[in-house]
Structure 1
Amino acid sequence: MNPNPKLHAWIAMCGYCSRREAERLMLEGSVKLNGRVIKNVAERIHPGKDKVMVRGKLLSSQQAHEYWALNKPTGVVSTVNDPDGKPTVMRYIQSKARLFPVGRLDEDSEGLLFLTNDGDFAYTLTHPKHGIAKVYEVFIKGTLSNTQLRILREGVPLKDGVTQPAEVSILNHEQGNTHLQFVLHEGRHRQIRRMCANQNIEIYTLKRVSIGSVSLGSLAIGRVRPLSSEEVTALLSEA
């Protein structure tokens, strides 16, 4: 790591929030460096010398990192707080650390989601350049045509560009409907739902079953478990 990291990266490393959220806090004027409000997201600091405050709280990088896996239920949003009062993933974990979700899993979807206070870990797992594989099981109405399956695999034209090639396979058929498996290496907002909508495919359920080498296993819906040090190391090595 650079001995003089960027301020937003250091805030994330302290476990206060993600890098993206730290940038937002800087732009809104909530971050002070040695008593001065800093809005320049390129600002660098001298750890151990400079004093950083976020919303009046003095930060320190000397804290233990925590890593948790949650089997997120549907009807729950993947944020720390929700302005509309919707239930968030934070209701399922008891910790004194300032945790935040790693990436997103939309409200209508369920499955594996990580929570941590390690900003570098979150950055590594969510940045597109690292391409961590995420596996989803999707139950759709009816069956797929060969053309639909080919387009899902090769790339779907969306408003934010054509999707990267995806591994899409048919797991089984049930009462005229179809179970699919998607393996994605990018993480666009509601990507699978938008891919399917583009091809007029109706989704009944969507569940994320693994991220990198970590899978849901027997973790029940609404339950959490700590990630082992071996799992954390393996995830970082896959980036």
Structure 2
Amino acid sequence: MSEERLQKIMARANLGSRRACEMIIEQGRVSVNGHPATLGDKADPDTDAITVDGQPIRVDSYTKRYIVFNKPKNVLSTNKQPEGDSRPAIRDLIPIEGHFFTIGRLDADSEGLMVLTNDGELTHELSHPSFEHTKTYKVTVHGQPDDEVLERWEQ
């Protein structure tokens, strides 16, 4: 394998998002071949000894996982429940270990299919606006909306 940025290797080893891994590097907790790493450093996960807090990381032990979840109403689309909010978050209902991304989001009042994964590349490809994926929503409307309301919704 060729050299790549440390935070990308660390994220693939399921140590957190790339941003979280950047913070770990900035905190001085990462070494490559016994030398302290700095943000921007590159390494080859096949040949370099990469450690975090003195513990070696192994990219080959990382398995991509995908979870399809039917989010019920009054459940938050976040991984962590915000302070002071009594509603459960998705991760409160799914007992999984490790860092998982929630692809997309639904309002707390909404219900529907959501995907959680530790695959950062898939998350980026499905979530980033530059990929321009079409989203389809099915909604239930009480009453008959007039033409003006329908026109606003179409925008």
Do these two structures clear the TM 0.5 threshold for a shared fold by scoring above it?
A: yes
- 2:133 maps to 1:132: yes
Instruction: List, as ranges, runs of 4+ consecutive aligned residues in structure 1 with deviation greater than 6 Å.
Output: none
Q: Percent identity?
A: 28
Q: 2:43 aligns with which of 45, 63, 68?
A: 45
Contact 2:2 2:44 (C-alpha < 8 Å) held by counterparts: yes
- 2:36 maps to 1:36: yes
Instruction: Measure, in 2, the Cα distance between the counterparts of 1:107 and 1:22.
Output: 29
- AA partner of residue 59 (structure 2): S
Q: What RMSD, in angstroms, separates the aligned Cα atoms of the two structures? A: 3.2
Match of 2:146 in 1: 145
| Closer/same/farther in 2, CA of residues 111 and 59 from structure 1, 3 Å limit | farther
Residues 61-98 of structure 1: per-residue CA shift (max 9 Å, x gap): 22221111000112222233234264221233344454
Contact 2:101 2:120 (C-alpha < 8 Å) held by counterparts: no
Q: Which runs of 5+ in 1 are unaligned?
A: 155-239
Match of 1:60 in 2: 58
Match of 1:175 in 2: none
| Closer/same/farther in 2, CA of residues 13 and 134 from structure 1, 3 Å limit | farther
Instruction: Measure, in 1, the Cα distance between the counterparts of 2:28 and 2:102.
Output: 21
Question: Per the alignment, in what secondary structure is the counterpart of residue 108 of structure 1?
Answer: coil
Q: Which has the higher contact order (CA 8 A, sep 6+)?
A: 1
TM-score, L = length of structure 2: 0.70
Question: Per the alignment, in what secondary structure is the counterpart of residue 151 of structure 2?
Answer: helix
- AA partner of residue 43 (structure 2): I
Residues 33-81 of structure 1: per-residue CA shift (max 9 Å, x gap): 436364x4x543332315142x776532222211110001122222332
| Closer/same/farther in 2, CA of residues 29 and 22 from structure 1, 3 Å limit | same
How many residue pairs were aligned?
149
Match of 1:70 in 2: 69
Q: CA deviation at 1:122?
A: 1.3
Instruction: Measure, in 2, the Cα distance between the counterparts of 1:58 and 1:106.
Output: 40
Instruction: Measure, in 1, the Cα distance between the counterparts of 2:76 and 2:29.
Output: 26
Which protein has the bigger strand share? 1
Q: CA deviation at 1:132?
A: 2.6
| Closer/same/farther in 2, CA of residues 83 and 92 from structure 1, 3 Å limit | closer
Q: Which runs of 5+ in 2 are unaligned?
A: none
| Closer/same/farther in 2, CA of residues 141 and 129 from structure 1, 3 Å limit | same
Contact 1:12 1:120 (C-alpha < 8 Å) held by counterparts: no
Match of 1:117 in 2: 118
Instruction: Measure, in 1, the Cα distance between the counterparts of 2:114 and 2:89.
Output: 12
Residues 129-162 of structure 1: per-residue CA shift (max 9 Å, x gap): 22233221223454333344334334xxxxxxxx
Residues 77-121 of structure 1: per-residue CA shift (max 9 Å, x gap): 223323426422123334445433223323232211111111112
| Closer/same/farther in 2, CA of residues 50 and 120 from structure 1, 3 Å limit | farther
Match of 2:15 in 1: 16
Q: CA deviation at 1:15?
A: 2.7
